[in-house]
Structure 1
């Protein structure tokens, strides 16, 4: 892994390493073996001057808030993925609205943008930069297909392999790859028109990076026009679920509308059905927990007798059109990175970050509660982008104030450690690969494994509650465990990057 954002402050000035790690599969910005890009002459020296620390600070430090923010996102992902079945109110919102789980994806994309700002701060060779961005994008797509395409059935099912007629083409890493590719290329291609210093004024930073915002505006226009003008015809599907009474049945969903934002007839789902094919979409969408589908909403329950056909239909939460709109989340993140680079004092950074964060948050809330554009993660609506982007900016500001300004670093060290090795924890923990590896050694039957024994006897039986026991297992058996492992790897200087 490349060197993270190292800050060496000296009386009157501080230096930051030019090569910021961006393990963009989950965007790393940790420590490692990278080195600064050397350049001769006074101009090169000038570009390396005080970017991150107050002039009066004498000791070496780093912007630990970025690692802690990334680590928090991984922790929340593990929590909602593995404990969401026990406490579904913190799992993804069935349709409109925003729950704890719905912050994970935009937080990932936000930190992708922040990291890109540092990784592309200087681009000595445009061709090499484009090649590096392209290779990393392809790596993320490969890992996404391997982990979420259906080949791995971890952690409980020890079978492997996927029917190519049913492979899922989209996923978390594929979306991150698209956002990274788009935002990073804009940053690379505009390197010659970007200023080394930004003039004073409340809007100067926006003007200095207007090409990035122009790209976000074009993306928004494409998304809005497509969402509200595309005609969505009727569609049908065959339901596949072994042992289910509806297995093998064909259902027809009646649409014939434009501009709908409901589960059945929206443009986001229509485009995915046309581009990827209906058999290659996510077969267990969260909308089955809506009030239209079950009386147990927002939790999973028995399907209503009068449930519409679309309740059993597939829907891709990381689809094409929604991934295009998610580029704006990366653009918001890269703006926060630009502020960190150009603004010299804590007060300047926090003032700008918090002002923008609360403005985005309020705009998202306004759009949602006026029913103009509901907050919706599945559609990745504009109000959802604003709401979660604002929340990301506020959380980063809070971490920055607590850790980098006030020096309260110790309570957040485990988040830093996880953030420095986010890709490793994502693959082994969040995707269940390590648990599947441990489950490979079972006794008599595949349900008699070490992982299941610990979960049942150390947590569930002790607390006499399946739900609480599962939650405590996720907190202590997964999150705390991987925090300790990440800390050990950090001390050994071991990091996994793409």
Structure 2
């Protein structure tokens, strides 16, 4: 069957599959079909193996690969690590790509919703699972992969993180999709904008999130604030940051940080923000290094990159993603889909570039600024369209199989590789010293010493000993039909 037609066969019988699966539906010619035949056809349809959207899996796999690359090679190559403040690097695409994928998957998974009450229950359970795993992995309980200890002082537990942000965006976007199910059209009207008007409530939800973020960011008064540095120095020391302003988009006095300090408390924010790599804080910028003697005191302060107000802005990333999913559902031909996806991607990029280079709203991942939303969502749309052309239009699926495999087991690879749980397990078996473990031996002797370069050795280790390894593992698990889902 042609790939384009395959993608139109519908969603699997369960409307709660958020992994971008599609299955076959059976059309009954009339209501007088003999009961036995009807039941047999339904049984066959239910037993059909669910088919996945290859483009979505490959894109999800690419995002996981980028996360591993920038997390583990970013220290050696600061240019690919998160931007210290304004700007956008390779690492800064990871989070919005995840949220874009969430949006596309929601559109596919909630194409048909037999019972709204059941759908809401499923959404709630999945949101709670994401929150649980997020706090467990990034709340401070896990110290993987190098520190062979566990546990967290509840006075300093971090409540926010990657999975927590995904949980919020998923919950909001999925609930809007669920409660507007009866307002969806079965067919679209004529005109390019018909897809937007058909799903106006989804866009209205994105508009509300945009207004909440923009109004709060530019009108909320940020007073002076203080924090206690528990990390640098022998004794904890209290510092005061002088603010008293509105609409500031710098590191110290922005509304995003103020909201998080008020909601979560300053002790529950991320203690090693990327702004410590700014030139104002270290001469090693954009890399990490010792603080300058004249560094402002906010260089020592915590800041939450996945905080509440910035996560509200992130809902827009999910909203744009679900639009791409709606296009995938409603339009049958490759050209019809691409003429909606590609122009929208370029328009978003142009808006972002104008906002950034006019200094109206700079690109900023830490604040999740509107220009950053547009730039990364536009890039996601272009990359997704590119994958669609290569995989679904031209049929070049084989070169991207390892990305598909990783994408189908994204949660497993995220936990074991990106969060370092598997490496921590291996590091737990050492000889005399924790540095004498298999992971450290392979990195040091197989890569760093062979290439006589810490940077090159680190990069090759990440590519071959981590990304390639987990690509093979994901492929084996796929062949065995083993997947870890939430």
So what's the TM-score if we normalise by structure 1? 0.91
SS of match in other structure, 1:158: coil
Listed one character per residue, the Cα deviations across residues 172-225 of structure 1 (whole Å, up to 9, x for unaligned) are: 000000000000000000000001111221100000000000010111111000
SS of match in other structure, 1:161: coil
Do the aligned residues in 2 keep the contact of 1:30 with 1:421 (CA within 8 Å)? no
Residue of structure 2 equivalent to 1:17 = 11
Matched, 1:416 2:410: no
Residue of structure 2 equivalent to 1:263 = 251
In 1, Cα distance between equivalents of 2:156 and 2:17: 30
Residue of structure 2 equivalent to 1:55 = none
Residue of structure 2 equivalent to 1:80 = 70
5+ residue gaps, structure 1: 1-5, 44-59
Residue of structure 2 equivalent to 1:430 = 418
In 2, Cα distance between equivalents of 1:477 and 1:407: 29
Residue of structure 2 equivalent to 1:469 = 457
In 2, Cα distance between equivalents of 1:67 and 1:42: 36
Listed one character per residue, the Cα deviations across residues 432-466 of structure 1 (whole Å, up to 9, x for unaligned) are: 00011111111111111000000100000100111
SS of match in other structure, 2:9: strand
SS of match in other structure, 1:15: coil
Residue of structure 1 equivalent to 2:351 = 363
TM alignment of 1:281-320, pairs within 5 A? 281-320=269-308
SS of match in other structure, 1:367: helix
Residue of structure 1 equivalent to 2:480 = 492
Residue of structure 1 equivalent to 2:42 = none
1:372 alignment partner, one of 360, 370, 389: 360
Residue of structure 2 equivalent to 1:50 = none
1:209 alignment partner, one of 199, 209, 216: 199
Do the aligned residues in 1 keep the contact of 2:20 with 2:53 (CA within 8 Å)? no
In 2, Cα distance between equivalents of 1:345 and 1:309: 57
In the superposition, relative to structure 1, how do residues 165 and 194 fare at CA in structure 2: closer, same or farther (>3 Å)?
Answer: same
TM alignment of 1:16-415, pairs within 5 A? 16-19=10-13, 28-29=19-20, 63-241=53-231, 244-245=232-233, 247-415=235-403
So what's the TM-score if we normalise by structure 2? 0.93
Listed one character per residue, the Cα deviations across residues 134-191 of structure 1 (whole Å, up to 9, x for unaligned) are: 0000000000000000111001111010000010000000000000000000000000
Do the aligned residues in 2 keep the contact of 1:7 with 1:16 (CA within 8 Å)? no
Residue of structure 2 equivalent to 1:3 = none
In 2, Cα distance between equivalents of 1:20 and 1:371: 47
Listed one character per residue, the Cα deviations across residues 230-268 of structure 1 (whole Å, up to 9, x for unaligned) are: 000001111112xx4375111110000000000000000
Listed one character per residue, the Cα deviations across residues 54-102 of structure 1 (whole Å, up to 9, x for unaligned) are: xxxxxx9863111110000000000001111111110000000000000
5+ residue gaps, structure 2: 32-49
Listed one character per residue, the Cα deviations across residues 79-136 of structure 1 (whole Å, up to 9, x for unaligned) are: 0011111111100000000000000000000000000001110111000000000000
In 1, Cα distance between equivalents of 2:311 and 2:29: 43
In 1, Cα distance between equivalents of 2:27 and 2:120: 21
In 1, Cα distance between equivalents of 2:270 and 2:212: 24
Do the aligned residues in 2 keep the contact of 1:21 with 1:30 (CA within 8 Å)? no
Do the aligned residues in 2 keep the contact of 1:30 with 1:67 (CA within 8 Å)? no
Q: How many residues align?
A: 468
Aligned-residue offset at 1:23? 7.0
Aligned-residue offset at 1:294? 1.5
Do the aligned residues in 2 keep the contact of 1:120 with 1:187 (CA within 8 Å)? yes
In 1, Cα distance between equivalents of 2:20 and 2:361: 34
Aligned-residue offset at 1:30? 5.7
SS of match in other structure, 1:251: strand
Do the aligned residues in 2 keep the contact of 1:8 with 1:15 (CA within 8 Å)? no
Residue of structure 2 equivalent to 1:52 = none
In the superposition, relative to structure 1, how do residues 250 and 87 fare at CA in structure 2: closer, same or farther (>3 Å)?
Answer: same
In the superposition, relative to structure 1, how do residues 38 and 131 fare at CA in structure 2: closer, same or farther (>3 Å)?
Answer: farther
In the superposition, relative to structure 1, how do residues 383 and 101 fare at CA in structure 2: closer, same or farther (>3 Å)?
Answer: same
In 2, Cα distance between equivalents of 1:446 and 1:302: 25
In 2, Cα distance between equivalents of 1:149 and 1:361: 34
SS of match in other structure, 1:117: helix
CA RMSD of aligned residues (A): 2.1
SS of match in other structure, 2:177: helix
In the superposition, relative to structure 1, how do residues 269 and 387 fare at CA in structure 2: closer, same or farther (>3 Å)?
Answer: same
Listed one character per residue, the Cα deviations across residues 364-390 of structure 1 (whole Å, up to 9, x for unaligned) are: 010000011000000000000000000
Do the aligned residues in 1 keep the contact of 2:16 with 2:110 (CA within 8 Å)? no
